[in-house]
Amino acid sequence: MNRAASVGVPAAPGVVPTVGAVSVPGSASTVLRAVLAGPERAARVLGVFAAAVYLADADSGEVVTVCTHDAVRLPNAVVLAARTERSPFPALAGSTDARIGGGAVRLGPLRVDVVRWWTPPRPPAPGDVRTRAHGATTLRAALDTAATGLPAGARADPAELSRYAYTDPERAAGAALRLIGLGPGLTPSGDDVLCGFLLALRHLDPRAAGARHAHTLGARVAAHAPGRTTDLSAALLGHAARGDGCTQLIDLIGAMGRDTGVLPCLRRLLTVGHTSGADLALGVLAGAEAMCTGAAPAELPYRKLPQSPVFELPYPKLPYPEGRSAREQRA
């Protein structure tokens, strides 16, 4: 067995691996074009997991994800051909020498050269108000039994977001700011709720009002997120404010807008992380109800998933790290 294979670094297809540095091809999100096309420069390592590596530009703070082919595809990802079982990342866990730019990402001996680009998905245009309202009703009924990671003391905040997003932007912003960084992990539960909410506002309301409210609230969140949550989560909040999210989340929003396939899309989203999928879906529900009615009950649903055929998850759990809390990362 060659040395590269012995440390779990797969060679590019058709290329014989060499001792030492290894180069593999990758497909990068178009949102990273400016970051990766710039000159090569130092990056900080935010986390190394079996399915993904998270790096941040040492100067600008821009976050770049490098992930395996079957990992959750974030909008800021460079995707490898290798699946998680053949991931090169575990062997790089102790590496701190990272660089980005020049059309590549490097961590330790691994260099990922961008050979193609992919565009983060957007949902289709939503249907009429009645169709969207029925989609929201379907999601609410399903989430009535879903467990989220949101602390009990914060459970009124998504409802407040929903109630005031269109009528009292300051109160909505107050609820949003209370959610930033709330919970453990690289993407705290409060941030996941906000991501789902911002994306639902932008994509489920075909009027300019939805995009305008998402932009305004997203700008407030982006201004306060640094230092209050993890670097990765702050970056994902920014992407959500601009309309980009992981495929499973965008698929659910598209299904709700057309009121078709909501439950299968929800099941796929619930495989994301330990509670991230449920937290994202909760945010989508809050955004959908804000758009449909401008009001919501005092609290949105929070309960544990039952063992029922509706929620039997036929899909494998997708790797999405819970990692350290925001406070631990800042320490």
In a domain, 123, yes or no: no
The domain boundary residue, chosen from 59, 90, 118: 118
Give this prediction's pTM: 0.83
In a domain, 174, yes or no: yes
Residues 114 and 186 in one domain: no
Partners of 54 in beta bridges: 47, 65
The boundaries of the domain holding residue 149 are 129-330
Contacts of 149 (CB under 8 A, 6+ apart): 183, 184, 185, 189, 192, 274, 275, 276, 278, 279
Residues 135 and 80 in one domain: no
In a domain, 8, yes or no: yes
**Helix/strand/coil for 272:** strand
5, amino acid identity: A
Residues 307 and 180 in one domain: yes
Residues 38 and 142 in one domain: no
In a domain, 37, yes or no: yes
Residues 175 and 276 in one domain: yes
The domain boundary residue, chosen from 59, 93, 118: 118
In a domain, 124, yes or no: no
Element of type H or E holding 106 = strand 104-107
In a domain, 152, yes or no: yes
Residues 92 and 140 in one domain: no
Residues 72 and 177 in one domain: no
Residues 160 and 282 in one domain: yes
Nearest CA among 88, 63, 58, 84 for reference residue 72: 84
List the beta strands (DSSP E) in 15-82.
22-29, 41-48, 52-57, 63-67, 77-80
Q: Are 195 and 240 in contact (CB under 8 A)?
A: yes
Encode burial over 126-159: b for 16+ CB neighbours within 10 A, e otherwise: bbeeeebbebbbbbbebbeebebbbeeebbebbb
**Phi (first) and psi of residue 280, to 5 degrees:** -60, -45
Each of the 331 residues of the chain gets a pLDDT tens digit; together they read 333 333 333 444 433 343 467 999 999 999 999 999 999 999 999 999 999 999 999 999 999 999 999 999 999 999 999 999 999 999 999 899 999 999 999 999 999 999 999 999 999 999 999 999 999 999 999 998 788 898 888 888 999 999 999 999 999 999 999 999 999 889 999 999 999 999 999 999 988 888 889 999 999 999 999 999 999 999 999 999 999 999 999 999 999 999 999 999 999 999 999 999 999 999 999 999 998 765 444 344 544 433 333 333 333 333 333 333 343 343 3
In a domain, 229, yes or no: yes
Nearest CA among 166, 209, 195 for reference residue 285: 195
Question: Which two tokens mark 248?
Answer: 């499973």
The domain boundary residue, chosen from 84, 118, 152: 118
Q: How many CB atoms lie within 10 A of CB 309?
A: 6
The total number of structural domains in the chain stands at 2
Residues 36 and 84 in one domain: yes
Residues 72 and 192 in one domain: no
Residues 104 and 148 in one domain: no
Q: Are 75 and 35 in contact (CB under 8 A)?
A: no
In a domain, 306, yes or no: yes
pLDDT digits (tens, 9 = 90+) for 2-56: 333 333 334 444 333 434 679 999 999 999 999 999 999 999 999 999 999 999 9
Residues 74 and 145 in one domain: no
Contacts of 51 (CB under 8 A, 6+ apart): 67, 68, 70, 71, 72, 84, 87, 89, 319, 320, 321
